[in-house]
A and B are shown apart, each in its own frame.
Chain A
């Protein structure tokens, strides 16, 4: 019995260690070069990979990014194992309150979620809000359904089952998609709602944007939503979607940018889906970087905090933003850059602003 107790205590100690391993060696002294660690969303990853490398090359500061998903990014931030997290969905007030200290959101670029499909020989289709609801809720199950034909005159649709492919993992892409669906369909809002992962009425799941893109590409008759870059890069066809002004819009840098022309709140926490701009692609959104407002925590050095802030300040500036269109993300509108700069200026170290 005594031995058993010892084992139990030892086991408990090991598990409790695991829960408390908050990185205490974050205190890179000022003599050493700072290196930054970040983790989060996979949606902006093609952009981040490119632009982070560029920064490392020009400034010598190593920035490593782990694409572990928005939720993972926030959890890492909560555990204070990263310098900043990245998320495609902004944190709700409740989630912010769950974190140990106040945080700020910095938008980094705009992306679109496209409705990709696989119908050999059919290069362009257009889908109204009613059709999106009907297809994604399982009311229209065949490609040659009269409703689809009616909206796409001149296209000969095959007699094929529609296979809806969605994300099997939680995802910011799903959040943007479901936020849009909730705005255009009361039925969707009531029965499915919005979130990073959902109770899907129909369809099959695949993991990650690359997984959904691959599954659509391999499955004739498939339709699904993916981050635009993944559809562009893999040359998967995508649909034009009807925006709130009644125009069918193709996702492009211009139409994505147009979605951010409206009001942006001071803390930048806004969903841009279903924009009122007549030229806007309606399933667009910001993607954010999230960091603590007070950078002195866990023995972080001033140099580390400064390195983080300088990098973020660079990220929202012209040089980095110019990279975004190369990988089919839209750069931030001037208004958002201005707001972000104000937010970054409000970030402090021991109560004093870091950026001059």
Chain B
């Protein structure tokens, strides 16, 4: 009886603590961003200004929102075909073969690499390569960041999709085969439709990770506080501007950075909510 109570107590405290921490975080984000919203109102979200010079202070979050969304979308677009093919390769076509096991391990390994290492590789290898290709004169920008982000999120999308694809009941597939379906037809009309919501969820998760990624992007995006107009333009993301500028920030600027943090939090929350909604609808 006593142990029963203790267990209950521990569980209660642990879960409430998480709740309190989350509420506390939201609260401090909101209270920290009040000054900037007082000063600029909701124009802060759609303004492209970013001028930290004394007496001319003017802040807007749009360049960073744009940078974040564009790089993450680019990453998702590049990641989609690769992750989808790889998960089919591992989870369906060559399931259980030694080489697909090896490939699966590689993908998981890729997920374990810290983001700073991706950044270093991007800075010293990928960026000069893009310069050599003649795509851009210095190699920094939206495209390079999107590419590195894509490589970073592929393992997330792949391993979850693979998991889901292997979970498609064998009875269903065998039934399709016995009706004379080819391998491609089984994938098209049995595997993909029944794994649809899970696969979709994996992309949402990957997208969410791309949104918040900081270090590797900071090293490659060029950190220019403008809305990028081309694929090879430099820009900045929400996470990156916070990481770069919080050290020296004070007053209104600090508040602007906290407000960007709050917006990032809201955007990620929104993406997750949309994902959940779509999964529910399809499932």
Residues of A within 8 A of B (CB): 7-8, 10-12, 14-15, 18, 68-72, 74-75, 92, 160-161, 163, 168-171, 192-200, 203-207, 218-222
* A218 and B53 contact, Cβ closer than 8 Å, known pairs A8-B23, A18-B28, A75-B250: no
13 contacting pairs across A/B (C-beta < 8 A): A14-B24, A15-B31, A69-B247, A69-B248, A160-B137, A168-B244, A170-B245, A193-B53, A193-B54, A195-B53, A197-B52, A218-B123, A218-B127
B-to-A contact residues, CB < 8 Å: 16, 19-21, 23-24, 27-28, 31, 49-54, 56, 123-124, 127-128, 131, 137-140, 218, 222-225, 234, 236, 243-245, 247-250, 253
Are the CB atoms of B224 and A203 closer together than 8 Å?
yes
User: Are A199 and B53 interface neighbours, CB within 8 A?
Assistant: yes
Contacts of A204 in B (CB 8 A): 138, 140, 222-224, 234
Neighbouring A residues of B127 by C-beta, 8 Å: 218
Q: How far is the CB of B28 from chain A (nearest CB, A)?
A: 5
Name the residue on B nearest A206 (C-beta).
Answer: B223
Best-surrounded residue of B218, B223, B243, B248 (most CB of chain A within 10 A): B248
Closest chain A residue, CB of each to CB of B23: A11
Q: Which residues does chain A contribute within 8 Å of B16, judged by CB atoms?
A: 7
Given contacts A161-B138, A222-B138, list 14 more A-B pairs with CB under 8 A: A8-B27, A11-B23, A14-B24, A74-B250, A92-B54, A168-B218, A168-B245, A170-B247, A192-B53, A193-B54, A199-B53, A205-B223, A207-B243, A218-B124
Tell me the number of A-to-B contacts counted with CB atoms below 8 Å.
Answer: 109
Contact across chains for B138 and A72 when beta carbons are under 8 A apart: no
Contact partner, A199, options B23, B51, B139, Cβ 8 Å: B51
Residue of B with least CB distance to A207: B244
Chain B residue nearest to A161 (CB atoms) is B137
Query: Are A163 and B138 CB-contacts (below 8 A) given A70-B248, A170-B249, A203-B224?
Result: yes
Question: Are A68 and B247 in contact, with the CB atoms below 8 A?
Answer: yes
Name the residue of chain A whose CB is nearest to the CB of B138: A163
The answer to whether A7 and B123 have CB atoms under 8 Å apart is no
